[in-house]
Amino acid sequence: MELGKSSKKWLWSLMAASLVTGNMPSVMAQSAVSKTLLITEVVNDPLFDESTGEFIEITNISNDSIDLSGYMIGDEEKRGGNEGMHAFPEGTLIEPYQTIVISRYADGIVERHGVTPDFELFDSMEDVPELLPTDWATGSIYLANGGDHVILMDPEYNVVDSMAYMDAKVPGVISHPGVAGGHSMERLTEKDTNDASRDFVDQPKPTPGELLFGPNAQKDKIPVSDLKDDVLIVPEPKTGIVLPPTVIAMYDKKSELDTILEAEASSIFIPVKKSGKNGVVTQDGTSLDEVLEQIKGKAIPVIHIEDKKLVAEVDRLLQKENLSDVHIVSSRPEIVREMREKNNEYRGALVYIDGKLNEKKQKELVRSARSSRSNVVVLSQTAMTEDVIRYFRNRGLSVWGIDRANKSQASEMIEMGVAGVVSHDPKEVHELLAAYPEKSITQPPMVMAHRGIPSLKPENTMYAFEEAMELGVEIIETDVHKTKDGHLVLIHDFDLERTTNGTGKVKDFTLKELRELNANKLDPANPSWYQPEITDAVIPTMDELLEAAKGKAVLILEAKGIGYEKEMAKAIKEHDMVEDVIVSSFSSEVLERFAKLNPELGLGFTLSGTKPKEQLEQYAEKQVTDAVQLNAQYFINHQIVTPELIRFAKHRGIILTVYTVNEEADMKRATEAGVGGIITDYAQKLYNTQILP
């Protein structure tokens, strides 16, 4: 007779008693080098709902079948601890080079990776058996993002294999530094050294059920490091300004190139034109390839193209010189976009020098810049005011100003807060910058209200959003989920328990059911935030916030899941808020979907992970290039940002925003480090203290 899953569970629960008898040690023993069973892949920080995306993969690297009956896997190293240690059921066999994938919820792995796990911890799929509880630990496996360990033990409590990451410690094991959200730590070979930092690689696209080694190795899935050796580090202005503008020298003639380079310009602005049938030359008739060869490795080329016929040849010359760290500048969006399509590492900038910018033209320029995949707008001094610069910065675009050989113009632009100065006299710009005292601020970080102002009003409710707008906050960040009946609502967690009086997952409720919940609940982690007098707070819809924020605030809308990008893009367009919205995600795939649906939407790439300890310039280049390829600004955990990344991003026109910064000391530190924006639960602190000028 075939037993149903519920009957099997009953039998397995009886078996579990036999798996936890005997003399158990109180602490796991030191891990030995394994030649039989290995932990081969771990996802601890999956994208979207973490509780449904974690998995552990083990593999038999021996030549014999192994009976896993009573073997245990989990993250609890001490007997009686509150983490998890689960046992394999009686009769579980693993063949040579077979993998077994263990998940918290099997349906989450199927949804993300199209692979059905072999076991799960909680019942989500009828055909996937559950691991058994043990007396070793009282909880379930839930891998911590800040560091944890994975332990495989035999029925006699001998450690067969273990690995650790980040700040977790395991006797005899060197920890892996950790990976970004959505990545896995995957074992590269069957040779076990107990050094997880060497044994496991950062896998951007997890491969549950597949191996990078062995007879069925998926060699094409071995991640190749995209850290570059030839990273260009450009001169930094000597100034007291904490985030000084990048200095871009205007090219006039080849005979002055050496002087420009001696003046330590970070970039060189090179207008080009057509010469003959296929030639591309500068304004003085020098061939572009000759200029590129002279400045290569010394300054960033900023190539100004106004003739569409030059696109193919400029791209060819850049390929010839192996140059991708360049800016392509034009007043014609189609030229920038075509160059970006040829190489998505090229950066784009739109030029506007046609007089003043009214509100309508500002909106048009935002849309044109985004659709051309530009991250910079280059403005004449007559088009600039502090308000204009702030308008573009708030929408993810850096502003460079063109100085027409006028010292007072350059000085005014620096004071207004430009991110870059294009000048015929870079030495003069450096002299102006050198006059500023220490800790001067010309580009105050943008203040971004995280879920409204949850420290004053219930998070992600209209109360919190309205509080932010009344305070004068210009940018509000929030989180978007999709309900069971297809509505878009604003709540951070995938589960209802923390912020409402409901239980269960947001996706399993209709809008009507969610609106009946009280969205004002005491958070034990932040008891001082609780406002008991607010009794009518409800989960708002995205439509409500779009309507309330129109003309008042820029919105950062983080898609907490995948698959409802079309509905979000449609609603944003219907509310005529396209230029006032930045959609964000930890997932590059989600951002790519938004870009295809509406290229005029702003994009924000959210990054967690670990802080690099070496090759800092190389990591900075990689992170900036990742953002450039997506045409996104960066939202990065403030604990992993480095000075090298801030400087590298600044010279490439990438706005760097840090999250979630709540302590005044950290706000001050981030401001003095030169970040472009601060996401915080305490927007009022940034306005009511002396942190910002």
Q: Residue type for 178, please?
A: G
- C-beta of residue 270 within 8 angstroms of C-beta of residue 303: yes
3-state helix, strand, coil in the chain (%, to 5): 30, 25, 45
**Ramachandran bin of 72, using left for φ above 0, alpha for ψ from -120 to 50, beta for the remaining angles:** beta
Catalytic residue, from 450, 487, 575, 651: name it. Answer: 450
CA distance 94 to 71: 12
On whether the CB atoms of residues 38 and 61 are closer than 8 A, the answer is yes
Residue 450 known to be catalytic = yes
Of 200, 194, 151, the residue nearest 173 (C-alpha): 194
> What's the rounded Cα separation, in Å, for the pair 676 and 664?
17
CA–CA distances in Å: residue 205 to residues 102, 179, 182, 202, 208: 18, 12, 8, 9, 10
Q: What CA–CA distance (Å, rounded) separates 288 from 509?
A: 61
**Spatial separation of the C-alpha atoms in residues 657 and 449, rounded to whole Å:** 12
Which ranges constitute the DSSP H helices of 234-342? 257-262, 288-295, 311-320, 333-342
Annotated active-site residue 492? The verdict is yes
Q: How far apart are CA 50 and CA 491, in angstroms?
A: 15
Q: What kind and span of H or E run contains 398?
A: strand 398-403
CA–CA distances in Å: residue 96 to residues 31, 61, 63, 264, 284: 22, 6, 5, 61, 69
List the catalytic residue out of 149, 492, 638, 651: 492
Quickly count: other Cβ atoms within 10 Å of residue 157's Cβ. 18
Q: Give catalytic residues, as residue numbers.
A: 450, 492
